[in-house]
Homo-oligomer: A and B are copies of this chain.
Amino acid sequence: MEPFDFRTDSLSALFAPRSIAVVGASSSPQKIGGIPIDYARRFGFDGALYAVNPKAAQVQGLATAPTLRAIGEPVDLAILAVPAALVDEALDDAIAAGVKGVVLFSSGFAEIGAEGAAAQARLAQRARAGGVRLVGPNCLGLMNLRRNVYATFSPAPGAGLVQPGRIGLVSQSGAFGAYAYAMARERGVGLSTWATTGNEADVQLADCLAWLAEDPDTDVIMAYMEGCRDGPRLRAALALAQQRAKPVVMVKIGSTELGAQAAASHTAALAGDDAVYDAVFRRYGVLRARSLTQFFDLAHSAAVAGRPRDRAIGLFTLSGGVGALMADDAAAQGLDVPALSDAAQATLREWVPFAAPRNPVDITGQVTNDLSLMERSARLMLEDRGFGSWMGFLAAAGASDAFWPVLRDLVASLRAAYPDTLLAISTLLSPARRAELEAMRCLVFADPSDGIRTIAALAGLSAPTIDAPAAPHGEAIHLPAGGLSEPQALALLAEAGVPVVPHRVVHSAEAAADAAETLGGPVAVKIVSADIPHKSDAGGVALNLQGAAQARAAFERTRDSARAAQPDARIDGALVARMASGGVECIAGVHRDPVFGPVLMVGLGGIHVETLRDVALRVLPVSRDDALAMVRELRGFPILAGARGRAPADLEAIADALCALAGFALRAGDTLQSVEVNPLIARSRAEGGCVAVDALIVGREPSNLS
C-alpha cells in the first residue's frame, strides 16, 4: 500500500494543545459553552485558556475576547460551542486567527438530513482551504488525560476522572465514548487520550488511530466504529498501528442484519459488508470485541502483558476440576496445550504422587503442606516446554494475607526468570494486590475462563507484517465493461496462472467431436454466449460425454436448446472441456467492496456457500500464508483435509490458485467488478491439484469508476 499522509503534526494541535480558546463561552459551568472552561480550571490545564464571548466581559472569572482574532495570542485549539447558524462565522474567525485545530460540538449538520449534509460539506471545504483541522461537528470532543486537556462537554469527567494510563480510546459515537469513559473509571483502567469524532467532516476515526499509533504516551488503542467511508485511510491507520506494535481493540456495530439495520437508522456513514470489516480486522491483527466487558478486558490485558509469542500455554492448578475447565476453555479457544515430557511428568509424580502431571498440571491441595511446590512446578513446566503463556489457578489463596507474599514472590521470580513469557494468575485479589502483580506484567483474573479467552485473543495479535506490494506482477489488464464469455474468462485466468480445465472452443459439431477425442476422457459441452448467463437453465450444457459421437450430438442439442430458450441470444460456438473427476467442489473469487475495494473469497461449493455461508474473506493484497489460512479457517475445512477416507486436497495448490486470482484482480485494478471461479475443483496432489472448471468475469461499468 502507498504510505498515507495523516498529517499527524496538525492533529497534535488538537490532542496536545498549548493553548485553548472556547468560543461561545458561558458563565454557567453546566452549559455546553461553560463546561470546557470549568474542566480546564478544575482539572489543571496548564496552557493558556481563553474565553470568546462578544456579549460578556468575563465568564467564570475569565476575561473574554469578542473574537478569536481579538485574542492576539496564538491559539492551538478552538472549541466551538455555538448554534449551527453561527458556525460558519466562528470558523472564519478561527482561520483568520491562525487557529490550528477546531473541536466543533454543534449539531444540526449531516445527522439531520440533506441540507445539514450540504452545510457540513461546505464547512469541511472551508476548513481544508483555511488549513485548520476540524473534529466534529456533532461530537462530544476530546480529552488528553496526561495533559489535562478536557475539550468536551460530556458530564462524564465531571462525575470523576479516569486515571491517566497508556490506552487511547476513540469513538465515532459520543454516547458510547462517554459510557466507555465512565466504565474505564469504574474498572480502574487508565487512559492516555479520549476522542469522539461525530460526523467526521474532516478528522476521521482513522486519523485518530494514526495519531495514537504515533503517540509516545499510548501503547494500546481502543476504538468504536459504526462505519467507514474511507477504506484505504482506515487500512493505512491500522497498518501503522501494527507496524508500531500497538494492539488495536475494536467494537464495530452491525455484525448482524438487525444490528446493521439499527446502525443504518443511526448513522449516515456507509455501513458496508460486516464480513469484509472482519477480513480487514484480521488482516491487521485487530482484536474485535463483542461486548464492553471484552473491550476493556482485552485492552487492559494488552496494555499489561502484550502479545504472547505463540499459542502454547502451560496450565497449572490446585484443583483438578478447575484444571479440566481451563483445558476445556483452552481447547475451545484454539490454544495449544502440549503435554509435558515424560521426564518432567515423572519428576512431578515424585514430588506429588497424586498429581496430574500432563498439562494441565494439578499439584492438588498438597501444596498447602509445601508452598515451594508451586514455584518448583511452574519452573519445571516452563523449562520443559517453554510455553508462550503460563497460567496458574491458585483458588482463593490470593485473598489470604498469609499467602500473599508467597504469591508475589512467585510472580516476581517467574518474571525474572522468564521475561518474555505471558504470565497470568487466576485468584481473588484486592485491587491493590492486583495492581502489584500487573506492574510485573502478570495478568490477574478472578474467573480462569476469562483468562483463557483473553490470552487466546492476545495470541491473535499478529506480528507486525508489511503489506505485500500492491503493484502486481505482470502487465495491467484492461477489462471491457460487462460480462466476459466463459472462454475469455478461462483464458485470462490461465494466463494469470490459475490452473484451468483443458478445453477447446469449437464452432461446429465436427470440431466438437475432434476436441473430445483430443482432450480424451469424458467431456462437457457448453454453449458460449455472453447473452445467456444461466447456460444450464437454457439446456446449454451437456455433461459426462464419452467419445466423439456423444460430443457431436451434444453440440447440436445444446445449441438447439439454447436457441429455443433464448431466440435472440448470440451464440459463439461451444466450449468442450475435459470433465474434472473426483475432488471437492470449491468456489473462489474476488469482488469489489464499496469501502475496501477488491476482496478475495474462497469457500466450499454448493450448500456450503449458498446455504451455510461458509466462506473466508481477505482484502487484497494477500500473502501466500494468508491464502492458506483462508482455506484452513473454513468450517468445512475437514472435508478438504481428507474426510471419509478420501485423499486430502492439495492445499498448496489451492493457495497458489487464490494468489493467482488475487494477482489477476490487482492487474485488472479498477476495471474489475468481479471474478468468480465456480467450481474450483480441489483434488489431491496425485489427482492433479485444483482446477478451475467454470469462471465468470465482469468488467466494471465506466459509470462506476470513481
Footprint of B on A, CB under 8 Å?
Answer: 111-112, 155-156, 159, 171-173, 175-176, 178-179, 182-183, 186, 224, 226, 251, 253-263, 265-267, 290-294, 318-325, 327-332, 337, 354, 356, 358, 360, 362, 365, 395-396, 399-400, 428, 446-450, 606-607, 610-612, 635-636, 638-639, 643-644
Distance, CA A643 to CA B321, complexed state (A)? 43
Known contacts A159-B396, A226-B321, A266-B323; 4 additional CB pairs below 8 A are A182-B396, A256-B327, A258-B327, A259-B329
User: B328 contacts A258, CB within 8 Å?
Assistant: yes
Given contacts A259-B331, A332-B256, A643-B611, contact A291 B450 (CB under 8 A): yes
Shortest beta-carbon contacts, A-B, top 7: A266-B320, A175-B319, A259-B328, A291-B449, A173-B321, A256-B331, A611-B643
Residue in B224, B255, B324 whose CB lies within 8 Å of A266: B324
Shortest distance in angstroms between A319's beta carbon and chain B's nearest beta carbon?
A: 3
Chain B residues with CB under 8 A of A293? 446-447, 449-450
Shortest distance in angstroms between A293's beta carbon and chain B's nearest beta carbon?
A: 4
The winner among A263, A325, A327, A365 for most chain B CB atoms within 10 A is A325
Residue in B179, B258, B292, B328 whose CB lies within 8 Å of A337: B258
User: B159 contacts A400, CB within 8 Å?
Assistant: yes
Shortest distance in angstroms between A49's beta carbon and chain B's nearest beta carbon?
A: 26
Shortest distance in angstroms between A259's beta carbon and chain B's nearest beta carbon?
A: 3
The winner among A293, A321, A322, A323 for most chain B CB atoms within 10 A is A321
User: A395 contacts B178, CB within 8 Å?
Assistant: yes
User: A176 contacts B319, CB within 8 Å?
Assistant: yes
Shortest distance in angstroms between A682's beta carbon and chain B's nearest beta carbon?
A: 14
Given contacts A292-B446, A639-B607, contact A262 B320 (CB under 8 A): yes
Distance, CA A226 to CA B327, complexed state (A)? 13
Distance, CA A266 to CA B356, complexed state (A)? 7
User: B450 contacts A354, CB within 8 Å?
Assistant: no
Chain B residues with CB under 8 A of A449? 290-294
Residue in B111, B318, B331, B611 whose CB lies within 8 Å of A354: B111
What number of copies of this chain does the assembly contain?
Answer: 2
Chain B residues with CB under 8 A of A251? 325
Closest to A172 in B: B321
Distance, CA A649 to CA B396, complexed state (A)? 54
User: A173 contacts B643, CB within 8 Å?
Assistant: no
The winner among A182, A328, A446 for most chain B CB atoms within 10 A is A328
Distance, CA A356 to CA B584, complexed state (A)? 47
Residue in B178, B255, B635 whose CB lies within 8 Å of A612: B635
Shortest distance in angstroms between A255's beta carbon and chain B's nearest beta carbon?
A: 5
Distance, CA A263 to CA B320, complexed state (A)? 7
User: A262 contacts B327, CB within 8 Å?
Assistant: yes
Closest to A644 in B: B610
Given contacts A251-B325, A322-B175, contact A610 B159 (CB under 8 A): no
Closest to A330 in B: B258
Chain B residues with CB under 8 A of A291? 329, 447-450
Closest to A321 in B: B173
Q: 15 A–B contact pairs at CB < 8 A?
A: A173-B319, A178-B395, A183-B446, A256-B327, A258-B331, A258-B337, A259-B324, A261-B327, A262-B323, A262-B358, A265-B362, A292-B447, A292-B448, A611-B636, A611-B638
Shortest distance in angstroms between A296's beta carbon and chain B's nearest beta carbon?
A: 9
User: B186 contacts A321, CB within 8 Å?
Assistant: no
Shortest distance in angstroms between A250's beta carbon and chain B's nearest beta carbon?
A: 12
Shortest distance in angstroms between A115's beta carbon and chain B's nearest beta carbon?
A: 14
Distance, CA A362 to CA B101, complexed state (A)? 32
Chain B residues with CB under 8 A of A610? 643-644
Chain B residues with CB under 8 A of A638? 607, 611-612
Closest to A353 in B: B112
Closest to A356 in B: B265
Shortest distance in angstroms between A478's beta carbon and chain B's nearest beta carbon?
A: 36
Given contacts A319-B176, A639-B607, contact A226 B324 (CB under 8 A): yes
User: A176 contacts B354, CB within 8 Å?
Assistant: no
Shortest distance in angstroms between A219's beta carbon and chain B's nearest beta carbon?
A: 24
The winner among A266, A323, A324, A428 for most chain B CB atoms within 10 A is A324
Distance, CA A171 to CA B607, complexed state (A)? 44
Residue in B254, B290, B354 whose CB lies within 8 Å of A112: B354
Distance, CA A294 to CA B290, complexed state (A)? 16
Closest to A256 in B: B331
Distance, CA A221 to CA B267, complexed state (A)? 44
Chain B residues with CB under 8 A of A266? 320-321, 323-324, 356, 362
